[in-house]
Chains A and B, each alone.
Chain A
């Protein structure tokens, strides 16, 4: 690298000890707990003493219906939210980069929920989704649509929370797509216009050239979806029953109940899940990028 050619007097200006303050904080409060989690997940743990019990916690995770449905729900939630975010935010980003006049206003409106606390959003939507008096069902009723019990129906609760997640997160996805579309050289749009209009532009310009934006949106919302907690916890507490439990809410419940080893095993399961899904995705995306 060119840096090795630099004189020592210059390299001395970039001392390695500048890493140290950050390394201490990151090491003690992130790396050490992460490494410890592998050991403590194999124990029955009270914080004061830990009894080694092998893979019992993991076995329980796979056999117990509540715990294993938490695992399944986590994957459903991540796939659903990241898929919906791509499907909705790409057309939105195209609309908001077109010659529409209210562009700045609309971008702002869509983006604002990103900054609002998840707990506040959860409380608000739990109220709007009240089965009898809530605003959503009132509107649905007056339009002659069915009025489901959004959060009380075990088959629906997880999907209702996922929809609110999409509502809150669509702003980030949209600004990423907007940045991606604006980074495409204008010549491509000109050519697409001559070649035949909006479909050509969408299929042969935006889809391939905003590809990095698509990858980013998928990756970010997938990671976010796997790690989700606040929204599920404020809207349903994982209920009804454990119909909308995800890994993080299971981790919290086991922690509250004092099953620290089991809770930590949940953390390791989440770690493994994130790693085996996200790393191959990243490698796949990076390879596709090189091919371009």
Chain B
């Protein structure tokens, strides 16, 4: 079943570099094609997989062994114990960090989806002069690097510095240009007649948006949720500048502060890396296609 599926998937994703005559694949040709697969697998495996194996092996070692940085099987495989130690470290700091990261990510992503879908809806449907101004501002937002200290200044003025809500606002502002772009591209594929039918039925703008458009945007929403949650969960600079303080620690910052605290406990540092990599790994396993389509959105048509 899955083999059938992958073969079907492969054929539609293939460019015929070497078009082989059907039924004429000799043993020689077969070996030649396996050869390319084998070399690619070894080279790509060594470069891209070995670092991850190294992470897990080091995270599973006893403390003195991990400090040798060797690529070797642990004499005693204690991954679970090490993860438990990391979790318990410093008054369950890690649990607090995971909790904070969860609130930060869920809060930001919810607002990003809602606000940028509203913008993309009006932007794409109107297509007037204001819409093109809004588009240019969004484009500028994609390119211009945010200025750090003035953002802290503004956060202080509105009383949101060192608060998770403040960082959520910042993440929403920084991520919105990208999500609006994705929604706008997808919006173009939803025919305007659908809105008009709802309008004939007397639906208000909010009703058209929430009960007609939003459900149809679902694939784009999944893409935006997945790409922006990975970006915000992995964000290091944002919490570093805008959310200082021990109580505000996020998942990425545990890694950073453990780097100095665990200077001789490399097994625990890498156990932390393992814990922190689990959420993106889950995203990768379930949503690889959406992530890829999000990242290539607009890239090809320009």
- Contact residues of A: prevailing secondary structure: helix
B103 at the interface (CB under 8 A from A): no
> Contacts A37-B147, A109-B45, A229-B237; is A179 near B158 (CB within 8 Å)?
no
Interface string of B147-168 (1 = CB under 8 A from A): 1111111111010000000000
- Contact residues of B: prevailing secondary structure: helix
Residue of B nearest to A20 (CB): B118
Residue of A nearest to B256 (CB): A119
Interface residues of A in 42-82 (CB under 8 A from B): 45, 47
Q: How far is the CA of A9 from the CA of B151 in the complex (A)?
A: 41
B147 to A175, Cβ gap below 8 A?
no
A255 at the interface (CB under 8 A from B): yes
Residue of A nearest to B127 (CB): A3
A216 to B299, Cβ gap below 8 A?
yes
> Contacts A104-B9, A138-B71; is A119 near B252 (CB within 8 Å)?
yes
Which of A13, A124, A175 contacts B199 (CB under 8 A)? A13
A172 to B295, Cβ gap below 8 A?
yes
Residue of B nearest to A130 (CB): B69
A176 to B299, Cβ gap below 8 A?
yes
B150 to A213, Cβ gap below 8 A?
no
Interface string of B187-212 (1 = CB under 8 A from A): 00000100110010001010011000
Please, which residues of chain B bring their CB within 8 A of the CB of A145?
none
Q: How far is the CA of A67 from the CA of B111 in the complex (A)?
A: 38
A36 to B37, Cβ gap below 8 A?
no
Distance in angstroms from A290 CB to nearest chain B CB is 10
Distance in angstroms from A214 CB to nearest chain B CB is 11
**Which B residues are closer than 8 A to A by beta carbons?**
6, 9-10, 13-20, 33-34, 36-37, 40-41, 44-45, 47-52, 54-55, 58, 68-71, 111, 114-116, 118-119, 121-122, 125-128, 130, 134, 137, 141, 143-156, 158, 169-170, 172-174, 176, 180, 192, 195-196, 199, 203, 205, 208-209, 230, 233-234, 236-237, 240-241, 251-252, 255-256, 259, 266, 269-270, 273, 276-277, 280-281, 283-284, 288, 291-292, 295-296, 299-302
Which of A14, A19, A193 contacts B134 (CB under 8 A)? A19
B150 to A25, Cβ gap below 8 A?
no
Distance in angstroms from A253 CB to nearest chain B CB is 12
| Residues of A in contact, count (CB < 8 Å) | 109
Q: How far is the CA of A33 from the CA of B14 in the complex (A)?
A: 47
A98 to B17, Cβ gap below 8 A?
yes
> Contacts A113-B48, A179-B296, A179-B300; is A255 near B241 (CB within 8 Å)?
yes
A167 at the interface (CB under 8 A from B): yes
Cβ contacts A to B, 22 pairs, < 8 Å: A13-B203, A19-B119, A25-B176, A30-B141, A30-B173, A47-B156, A98-B15, A99-B20, A104-B6, A106-B40, A106-B44, A111-B292, A112-B284, A117-B277, A138-B70, A176-B295, A189-B15, A189-B16, A213-B299, A263-B148, A263-B149, A289-B302
